[in-house]
Chain A
């Protein structure tokens, strides 16, 4: 049964890596700025999931804190970029 779990963990890691590559292609390819921001959103979520997979496979809980930090700062980055696209300024006086 551990063989099945190991296969599933490897499969999920490969899937998240491929998803990150696809999001990177969209970042480089995206015709407009909002496409790039959307692809960045997908990219950091998949990076967070890759870190969680590392945490599951190694059995340590250090990766969890890193994943939480990536989630928080990725959300802040996406919101700041969207706000910049919307108003031309992030923090308004």
Chain B
């Protein structure tokens, strides 16, 4: 798979970050399935997206910096974008859900 040889200072933290990021994203998505109400379901995926994306992007920065032998920071673009847009979309979605519950009280968001 990965035929290149990573130095130890990059492989160890990058591997740990990938383990953490994968677990966080999976737990966040699992919360999407397990929670009972919509407003409870808003919470878990945000943890998964923010922390999981942060972990994976820092790992990606470490690996590409170690491979190219110079600091590579263009992954910060995605981190910044996700950090800005996740709260915006969550807030818009919650406002839409509140509006729909208020307009049609009979089919409530359980």
Residues of A within 8 A of B (CB): 1-2, 4-9, 11-16, 18-20, 22-23, 25-26, 31-35, 37-39, 41-42, 45-46, 48-49, 52-53, 55-59, 61, 64, 67-68, 71-72, 75, 78-79, 82-83, 85-86
Contact = CB atoms under 8 A, between A and B. Distances in A.
Given A5-B15, A49-B21, A42 B85 contact: no
B90 to A, nearest CB: 8
B37 to A, nearest CB: 10
Contact of A9 (B2, B23, B82): B2
A38 B4 contact: no
Nearest 10 A/B pairs, CB to CB: A15-B22, A12-B22, A19-B29, A8-B15, A85-B96, A82-B92, A86-B96, A15-B26, A8-B18, A12-B18
Interface residues of B, number: 57
Q: Which secondary structure dominates where chain B touches chain A?
A: helix
Interface in B43-63: 45, 48-49, 52-53, 56-57, 59-60, 63
B93 A49 contact: no
B4 A59 contact: yes
